[in-house]
Structure formats: structure tokens, C-alpha cells
Amino acid sequence: MCGIVGYIGNREAYPIIVKGLKRLEYRGYDSAGITLFGKAGKTFKTKGKVADLERIAGNNNNAGNTLGLGHTRWATHGIPSDHNAHPHLSNTGRISIVHNGIIENYASLKKILTENGYSFKSDTDTEVLVNLIEYIKLSQDVKIGRAVQIALNQVIGAYAIAVFDLDRPEEIVVAKLGSPLAIGLGTDEYFIASDASPFIEYTNRTIYLDDNEMAVISRDKGFKMYSITSDKALTPKIQEIQLSLEKIEKAGYDHFMLKEIHEQPTAITDTFRGRLLIDKHTINISGIEQHLDVFKNAERITIVACGTSWHAGLVAEYLFEDAARIPVEVEYASEFRYRNPVINKGDIVIAISQSGETADTLAAIKLAKEKGAFVFGICNVVGSSIAREADSGAYTHAGPEIGVASTKAFTTQLTLITMMGLRLGQLRGTISSQDFERVGKQLTKLPKLIERVLKYDSLIQEIAREYKDATNFLYLGRGYNFPAALEGALKLKEISYIHAEGYPAAEMKHGPIALIDENMPVVVIATNKGHYEKIVSNVQEIKSRNAKIIAIVSKGDESVKLLSDHVIEIPEITESLVPILASVPLQLLSYHIAIMRGCNVDQPRNLAKSVTVE
Ligand code: M6R
């Protein structure tokens, strides 16, 4: 978490950095800061958002500062406060640093530094790192680049850092391990950021640092890359950025979340375009085609993910087992990595992650690789760490998702997963060609069906108005609709701060039913064809305890409708695709409730889009 931005060149640094930080606020937004250097260099930092930083920094747009480092924070060590905000300065005030990540051994380093006369103004691990760098620079009489390298070899943890030393005013030192860092290459100017969005209007050439890489970026001498662990000079891999400015702006919507909900028809089309070749009776996902033997012969699949991506993994479990008859286990990445999981050579481990940077998921696939598994990554962010670490993979092509609540990332993950399930079933001879074709064709119709569901917006707003003051919600579903219920509940709690639980509908009798009374709204996803009468019975059980029922049903439903207080009809579709379609009204319900409660839907409290800490 945390976003960092840096600039060195001939332009005014302040507006570039502030605009860049606003684009990175999805990574954390509890405090912000900036160090400027040039004619009127200064450090400003504050608790709050980048807009608060602008208020305290005043107008620096023509101050003659052509170098700067900025930071937007998601607190790890130390509460959100002015003194814990970055940039952090060393004891002499000559070195400043912005950092995304965690220095795990900061306490022992702090002790050594304290014994050597250093004192600390903040509670952060980052202030320890900047003072360690200074201590090494002064005690070993080395330049800042070398001091950073020596310090990083003493550090345990994860970092993307940018460091500036007043004694070397023409350069910035950057380094990466575990947290992302991109360098934008302009003409006689360089940009540094946690992703490429802060500099896309200035250059389309970028270098994504790999783990254990560092660079010394100099205004006049260009930049030099090195390995942090050896002194080896490295040749940079320059890539062209595929991001456009309009894709990362709100395009007339009030919030990114709403824009992203409405982008789903296009995003899903982008996921299956060129891959779902129903006319040719095949699906071409190159990450699978290049490893056909692995997918044909694997004896089991383990899926690792967190949050919404974990819910997508649950849908994959149902689908892969059904279509490809292969045993699947879905694991929270954070639990998987700290167990001693049984992974055998030939097993496939699939990591699902929108950002491709989630620390636990990344660590889980590293562990899986060590144990001999074949790792397949399903990511949205191109070039992200998980995408690079995996043996193979496929991008969802959802486009940038800025709202912290995952929406189009989830439905595009499900689209990709559906194609994977069909292709695996075909490869392993476990799906009939009729079913392959039927589900494949329905997938191509989803964008149009989602357009139809989006038209229920005003009905959903009415429902939201009625329940906006509820303190608890239950979400229920059976089969494929169980993960959809979990996802609906997560969406509501993370942006509206209403407590919500997702349950398999039949499991309710084993405890949660005790919670049900007239004050409990229950959202039931009741589209099941196979076990329709079972879900009807579950709805009846809830009704007889006086709960308010909001039902998502298939067009043509008769029984559930009669029992429900509110009904949202979605078009009829094969069961495995319902989670995609049913997610849309659930996203809108959460969105409207959160707005009516005055919540910041794009930047909910305590959260960040990209969770790069454990
Ligand atoms: O980037 P990832 O998909 O790995 O992120 C995983 C979770 O942090 C993420 O899905 C989170 O649960 C969302 N905020 C939910 O909307």
C-alpha cells in the first residue's frame, strides 16, 4: 500500500507530483506529503488526503522546484498523523525518503541507531530506514547510492523507495523489493511512481523495476541500474505504456465505482474478445495453450487469492470441478503461505489478483513454486508482480479499476474463469460439445444482459433508501450463488460500513437464523434451477421469522417473488454465469446505500486498493 511519486527534470515538480498522488490515492489515503527541491525547496506533510496536503502547502506551482518526492499513505507502523506522514527526513535533515512497504526488522535497527545517537520523531519503520541510510553514508563515507544499497542489504521486509540527498542535488535513488516501482523516461526528465498512471501524459516509455533492483537517476547523466544484492550493473528493459488518460478519469460519473460498474459490458467483452472462438468450437487462452500438457495431466488445482478475488476462486472451484472434473481447493493466500500445504510436482496453483501486487498472494505463489507447482496468474494489472512471477497466466483486460471496491475486476475474473473451465473440460474430455457451445454462447450475450440489469438502477435506489439505516444484512445463496452472496456482503460492508454476512442459504439453520427478525434485511440470490424448491424453502424459513426479503430471481420466477418484499429480476442464464449477472444489482445496492449514508465509496475508511503488506 501507499503510493509514491517522484520527479526530476526541468519542469515545476509540485503540480506533477500532486496530480500523480491523486491518481495513486487508491493505494492509501490517510496522510500525504511532499519534499521539493530547487529555488524554494521545502517539505510539507499532513494527516489526511492529497487535497489536505494542497491546502497546507499553498501555491507552489511557480516556485522553481524541479525535483520532488511525494507520498500518499496507508498506515502500517504508527497511526495516521502529521508526524507519521512521509517524506521522512534523516536526523541531519539532509536525506529524505518516501517508502511503500514494511521494514520488518525496524525495531532492532532502531535500537542500534539509538545507541549511535539517533533520535526519532515518528513511530514509522521508514524513519528508521532513512536514518540507517544516513548513518551508513556518514560512518562509511560513501555516496547516497552506495549508502542505500548497503542499508537495503541489512533490511528485512518489502519496499519501493525513492531517496533524495541534499549533498547530491541532481539525483534521486530508487529501489524495489516486493512493492511496485515504475520509472517514466521523458526527454531530460524522469518520473518515479508506484504505477505508470502519474506520468502517462508525459511519456509512454517506462521501466518497471524488478525485485532487488535499484537505480540512480540523475538529471544530467541519465540513470544507472544495479542489483541491490550484488554490484552488477543491469540493462533496463524499457516498455511502452498501454494506459490512456481517459481510462483513469471519471468520464462524467460521480464516482469511479459507478463508472466501473457501468463499464462491465465493455470490460467483459474485452476479456473474451479474441479468446472465445465459438465458431471454431474452441477457446484460445495463450497461457493455457502454451502448457497444454500441464493442464491435461494435472491431478488437482489449488487457487490462492484474497478478498473479492477469493470469491472468484470459489466460483472457479464449482465450475472447474463441474466442467473439467478436476479436484479444486480454494485457499486464502494469507493462510496458505503460513501452513505447510501439501503441493506436489505437477499440481497447478492459480493465483487470482486484480492488482497483481497483493503481498499474501504473491508470497503464496512463491511458496507454491518452491514446492514444484506450476503457477498460473489471473491478473488485471499488466506487468504486475504476480503476472511476472507466475509460470504462465492470463490478463482479465478489465482496464484500470480505481474504486477500492472491486466491481468489474470481479466480473471479468469470472468471465476468464468460465472460459478456462470450458477449455479445461474440452481438453480433458469432460464436457459435452453441446454444453461447451451453450455456455460459450451465453457468455457472449452477457454484455447485453448486463446493460439490461443496469437499467434497474432506480428500482435499486428505492430499495437502498428503505434499508440505508439497517445495521446488519444477510446475503444468502446456494451453489454458484453462494460466492455471489459472499461478494454482495463484502461489497456492502466495505463501502457502507454496515455489518453484512454471506452464507450458503441452507447453512442458515445452523446458527445465523437466530439473528433474523423484522429488522434484518436478507438478500437472497434465488435463481437456482437445479434446487429451486430448496431455495424456496429457505426463503420461506426467513419469511416466517419476519425478515425483509430482497430477492434476486430469474425472469419468470413465481414462488420466490410471492414471498419477497422486493424483487430484482435478472435475465435467465445458465447457473454458472449467474454470479456475473447477479453481482451487478448487488454492486448498485451497496453503492446507493453507501452514498445515502454519506460514505466515501471510492476511498472507504481503513482500506486501500492494493494491499502490498501482509
Ligand atoms: O488486487 P487483489 O485482487 O489481489 O486484491 C484482493 C483484495 O484486497 C480485494 O479484492 C478487496 O477485497 C476488494 N477491496 C474488495 O472489493
Over the stretch 169-208, which tens digit does the pLDDT of each residue have?
999 999 999 888 999 999 999 999 999 999 999 999 999 9
- Secondary structure element (H or E) that encloses residue 378, with its range: strand 374-379
Point out the ligand 1 atom lying closest to the alpha carbon of residue 409: 3
59, burial (CB in 10 Å: exposed 0-12, middle 13-18, buried 19+): exposed
445, 557: one domain: no
Does the CB atom of residue 257 touch ligand 1 within 6 A?
A: no
202, 107: one domain: yes
264, 237: one domain: no
Q: Given a cut of 80, is residue 266 above it in pLDDT?
A: yes
Number of alpha carbons in the 13 Å side-chain half-sphere of residue 315: 31
* Residue where a domain terminates, one of 218, 247, 276: 247
Distance CA 398, CA 101 (A): 26
From residue 513, alpha-carbon distances to 406, 470, 474, 542 in Å are: 29, 17, 10, 8
**CATH code at position 525:** 3.40.50.10490
Average pLDDT over residues 558-569: 93
483, 408: one domain: no
Residue nearest to ligand 1 atom 4, measured at CA: 353
172, 309: one domain: no
89, 229: one domain: yes
The residues facing 239 across adjacent strands are: 206
Point out the ligand 1 atom lying closest to the alpha carbon of residue 607: 14
Work out the mean pLDDT of the chain and round it to a whole number: 94
Point out the ligand 1 atom lying closest to the alpha carbon of residue 355: 1
- Secondary structure element (H or E) that encloses residue 34, with its range: strand 31-38
CA of 311 to the centre of ligand 1 (A): 10
Does the CB atom of residue 306 touch ligand 1 within 6 A?
A: yes
Confidence (pTM): 0.80
Q: Given a cut of 90, is residue 329 above it in pLDDT?
A: yes
494, 442: one domain: no
609 is catalytic: yes
C-beta separation of 404 from 590 below 8 A: no
**CATH code at position 140:** 3.60.20.10
176 is catalytic: no
Does the CB atom of residue 309 touch ligand 1 within 6 A?
A: yes
Residue nearest to ligand 1 atom 7, measured at CA: 307
Residue nearest to ligand 1 atom 11, measured at CA: 307
271, 164: one domain: no
Identify the band that residue 146 occupies on the pLDDT scale cut at 50, 70 and 90. Answer: very high
In angstroms and rounded to an integer, the radius of gyration of the C-alpha atoms of the chain is 25
Distance CA 376, CA 139 (A): 46
Residue type, 403: G
* Residue where a domain terminates, one of 247, 276, 296: 247
pLDDT at 351: 98
* Residue where a domain terminates, one of 207, 230, 247: 247
Identify the band that residue 608 occupies on the pLDDT scale cut at 50, 70 and 90. Answer: confident
Q: What is the DSSP string of 122-172?
A: SS-HHHHHHHHHHHHHHHHT--HHHHHHHHHTT--EEEEEEEEETTSTTEE
Average pLDDT over residues 563-588: 96
CA of 154 to the centre of ligand 1 (A): 31
Q: Strand, coil or helix: what is 233?
A: strand
Does the CB atom of residue 402 touch ligand 1 within 6 A?
A: no
Does the CB atom of residue 308 touch ligand 1 within 6 A?
A: yes
Residue with cell 476511498: 603
Average pLDDT over residues 458-485: 96
pLDDT digits (tens, 9 = 90+) for 85-119: 999 999 999 999 999 988 989 999 999 999 999 99
CA of 179 to the centre of ligand 1 (A): 16
Point out the ligand 1 atom lying closest to the alpha carbon of residue 491: 16
448, 461: one domain: no
The residues facing 350 across adjacent strands are: 303, 376
Task: Look up residue 253 and give its three cell numbers.
Answer: 460519473
DSSP state of 514: G
pLDDT at 93: 96
Distance CA 217, CA 220 (A): 9
Q: Which of 596, 561, 568 is nearest to 454 (CA)?
A: 568
Q: Which of 149, 159, 158, 209 is nearest to 185 (CA)?
A: 209
CA of 611 to the centre of ligand 1 (A): 8
From residue 387, alpha-carbon distances to 278, 287, 362, 380 in Å are: 27, 11, 9, 9
Q: Given a cut of 80, is residue 410 above it in pLDDT?
A: yes
Catalytic residue chosen out of the listed positions 2, 306, 379, 599: 2
DSSP state of 178: B
- Where is average pLDDT lowest: 147-151, 503-507, 588-592? 503-507
Domain residues for the domain of 551 are: 455-614
193, 292: one domain: no
Total number of domains constituting the chain: 3
CA of 359 to the centre of ligand 1 (A): 11
326, 423: one domain: yes
409, 377: one domain: yes
